Each structure stands twice: as structure tokens, then as C-alpha cells.
């Protein structure tokens, strides 16, 4: 194989593949990227057996062929090269590859392309066309609520619900739940519910162009996302997402409106003296004010008072500061609403005046 590609073209595709390649794996070939060159250009493929990404790069191909190179090291080399043409040439033995640009030249060891796993074939029929900006919002507003516990595999992803006139995504870790709905069509007749793994969500989010469209399809065991000439392949999670509707409280009879920036800043300051393990901050509701407090016996305590419009009874609710921060960091509205019933029942946070989407964030109080 011998080809010449522009640095920026090659670097862009290699950067997208970095999230796919596993740093720690027991199968050496999975640390490599598969490079296939023919007269139409260059195709690159990386996989960890659960998630794979195939992309294309414009190049002048002198000799066609297929080889593999260490993905991380190739990315580092290309990143360090000047903005010029890069030559990649396989030696006659097929055991090493020359990478050269300007006055720089290097040789890298390769592994046999025959050892690289064959990806599943893309489903022939496109099931839905997902607007890029809407899908990016769904992902950014829910992925932090996915559980990090491997044992709860049915919560190791977010549920994507497609209907003819709206798209929703739901994620939960058992302590909080994020539900966002965008009133945009995924295509006539689009109707589907599918559980998307955490890594798949992250990689789809990196591929999305706000103005573009992501074509979604699925096979028996895999999901496929195609956009801008790139194809992301994901193994399905063999599990059923829980009945999330039951978690959303319907009887919260008290509410407080906050200025989002002031609340976010107060939580950020007060949490500095919260317990490092529990990360607990307490919302102390009183007449026309909410005092946010935290304390750690061996360190100290902090509090900040926020003026609000509240005439209900005095109450204290304790929340994990991370959970509150996650919500406040993704909403764009000037004000947010906290709905609650008592100290032990689920509370709900929502943006006020959100444009084009509905966002419900259920958060369980802490018992301290």
C-alpha cells in the first residue's frame, strides 16, 4: 500500500477513532486501526467489539492495499507533523509501515489485517432520520444520569423513543432520572424504542453536525448510525429499560423558581465544604428564601441565602450536589423550577421557558 493524504483530513478522522479504541485490552489487534486504500480513497475502521466506527479520508492512492497500525501512536505522530501532505507506505515484507512528511520519516510495526474483526453489515433500511441538533440535545441532557455500575446493565444506557412527531431520551441510575423530549420528526412513520449504550451515546455525540442528519437503522444484534460519510456500529444491550413513567411524581404541590446562574453559583460555592463522599447540600426552605448549606465535621460548614418567592411551610431537603450541578450545567434558560412535596419524596427540576423541548429531571432526596 502507498498513499498520500492531507494532514488535516487524516487527523480529523483519526481523532474520531480515538474514543473507539480500547486503551486496555487483551486482544492486541483492537488497539489498531484498519486502513483500506483503493482508487476511491481511504477507509479507516476501529472497534472494541462493542462499538465500531468506519470513516473515509480523501487521499491519492498509488498502491491499493489493507494494513493495520496502532491507533493512538498514529494519531500522535500525525498530530505532531506540519500541515502538509503525509505519505504512508507499506514495505515489501508487510511487517512495517513508513509514515513521512516534509523532512520527517518514521517506521511503525503493523499487525496482520487478517486478524482484524469483520464488522457487521449495515442494515439496508433506514428506520429514522434524526436531526443532528435535536439528537445532540437529547444526549447532552441525559447521558450524565446513566449508571456507572456494570452490574445494573439494564441502566447502562439511555432509552431512545422515536415517534412520528417527537423524539425522547431517558436515562436513570436509580437516584435521579433525566427525561428530555424534542418536538421534531424523525421521519414519517418513525416509531421505535431502543436502549443505547453509554459509549455509543458519547461517540454519536462526537460525530453529530448540528446542521446534519443522522440516519438510524438496526439489525438483530446491532445499531447503526450514519452521518457525514461515517458509520457508527454498536452492539445492542440485551435488556429492557424500566418503566420510567412511574418514577415521575404527579403530586408535588410546592414549587420554587430560581435564577439558574445564582443557584448554580451558590451550589458550587457551598459544596466546597460538603462531605467528599456524600457531596450533600441541604436546601432549607423558609419564607421568601432558600438557604443552601453544607457541613463536614472535621472541615467546617458553609451556607448561602437565595431570595425567592415562597410562602409554603418550612422544610429541609438534602440533595447530592453533583446531581444538581449536572442539571444546571446543561439547561440554557434563565430560570429553573424546583417542584417538591416533602423531605423524602422525589423532587423535580425543570427549565422555565425552554424553547423547542421539554426537560424533566427527577432527583431523589438524600437521607442524612
pLDDT digits 0-9 by tens, 191-202: 789 999 999 999
pLDDT surpassing 70 at residue 97: yes
pLDDT surpassing 80 at residue 151: no
The reported pTM is 0.91
* The predicted structure's pLDDT at residue 367: 87
Degrees (nearest 5) of the Cα angle 123, 183, 193? 40
- Fold classification of 249-363 is DNA Polymerase III; Chain A, domain 2 (3.10.150)
Torsion angles phi and psi, residue 262, rounded to 5:
-70, -40
Numbered ranges of CATH 3.10.150.10 in the chain: 2-115, 128-245, 249-363
pLDDT digits 0-9 by tens, 221-243: 999 999 999 999 999 988 889 89
* The predicted structure's pLDDT at residue 189: 67
* The predicted structure's pLDDT at residue 152: 73
Q: Does domain 2-115 match CATH 3.40.50.1820?
A: no
Residues 123/225, Cβ–Cβ less than 8 Å: no
pLDDT digits 0-9 by tens, 272-313: 999 999 999 999 999 999 999 999 999 999 999 999 999 999
Quote the cell numbers at residue 64.
491499493
Averaged pLDDT score across all residues of the chain: 93
Residues 230/16, Cβ–Cβ less than 8 Å: yes
Q: Which of left, alpha, beta for 174 (phi over 0: left; psi -120 to 50: alpha)?
A: left
pLDDT surpassing 80 at residue 190: no
d(CA 255, CA 324): 16
d(CA 368, CA 302): 17
**Residues near 314 by Cβ (< 8 Å), separated by ≥ 6?**
284, 285, 286
CATH architecture of the domain 128-245 equals Roll (3.10)
d(CA 321, CA 276): 10
Amino acid at each position: 500500500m502507498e498513499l498520500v493524504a492531507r494532514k488535516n483530513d487524516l487527523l480529523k478522522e483519526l481523532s474520531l477513532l480515538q474514543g473507539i479504541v480500547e486503551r486496555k485490552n487483551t486482544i492486541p489487534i483492537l488497539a489498531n486501526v484498519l486502513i483500506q486504500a483503493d482508487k476511491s480513497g481511504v477507509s479507516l475502521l476501529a472497534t472494541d467489539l462493542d462499538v465500531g466506527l468506519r470513516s473515509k479520508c480523501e487521499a491519492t492512492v498509488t498502491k491499493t492495499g489493507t494494513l493495520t497500525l496502532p491507533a493512538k501512536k498514529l494519531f500522535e505522530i500525525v498530530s505532531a507533523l506540519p500541515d502538509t501532505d503525509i505519505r504512508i507506505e507499506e514495505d515489501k515484507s508487510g511487517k512495517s509501515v513508513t509514515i513521512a512528511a516534509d523532512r520527517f520519516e518514521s517506521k511503525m510495526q503493523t499487525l496482520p489485517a487478517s486478524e482484524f474483526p469483520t464488522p457487521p453489515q449495515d442494515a439496508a433500511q433506514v428506520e429514522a432520520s434524526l436531526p443532528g441538533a435535536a439528537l445532540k440535545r437529547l444526549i447532552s441532557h441525559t447521558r450524565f444520569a446513566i449508571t456507572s455500575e456494570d452490574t445494573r446493565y439494564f441502566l447502562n444506557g439511555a432509552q431512545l423513543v422515536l415517534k412520528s412527531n417527537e423524539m425522547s431520551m431517558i436515562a436513570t441510575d436509580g437516584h435521579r432520572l433525566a427525561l428530555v423530549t424534542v418536538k421534531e420528526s424523525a421521519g414519517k412513520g418513525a416509531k421505535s424504542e431502543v436502549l443505547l449504550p453509554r459509549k455509543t451515546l458519547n461517540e454519536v455525540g462526537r460525530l453529530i453536525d448540528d446542521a446534519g442528519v443522522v440516519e438510524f437503522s438496526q439489525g438483530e444484534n446491532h445499531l447503526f448510525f450514519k452521518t457525514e460519510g461515517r458509520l457508527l456500529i454498536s452492539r445492542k444491550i440485551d435488556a429492557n429499560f424500566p418503566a420510567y413513567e412511574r418514577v415521575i411524581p404527579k403530586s408535588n404541590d410546592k414549587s420554587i423558581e430560581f435564577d439558574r446562574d445564582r443557584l448554580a453559583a451558590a451550589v458550587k460555592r457551598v459544596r466546597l465544604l460538603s462531605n467528599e463522599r456524600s457531596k450533600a447540600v441541604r436546601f432549607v426552605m423558609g419564607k421568601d428564601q432558600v438557604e443552601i448549606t453544607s457541613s463536614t465535621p472535621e472541615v467546617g460548614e458553609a451556607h448561602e441565602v437565595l431570595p425567592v418567592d415562597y410562602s409554603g411551610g418550612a422544610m429541609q431537603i438534602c440533595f447530592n450536589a453533583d446531581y444538581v450541578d449536572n442539571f444546571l450545567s446543561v439547561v440554557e434558560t434563565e430560570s429553573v423550577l424546583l417542584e417538591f412535596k416533602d423531605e423524602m419524596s422525589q423532587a423535580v427540576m425543570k427549565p422555565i421557558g425552554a424553547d423547542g423541548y421539554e426537560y424533566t429531571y427527577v432527583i431523589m432526596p438524600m437521607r442524612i
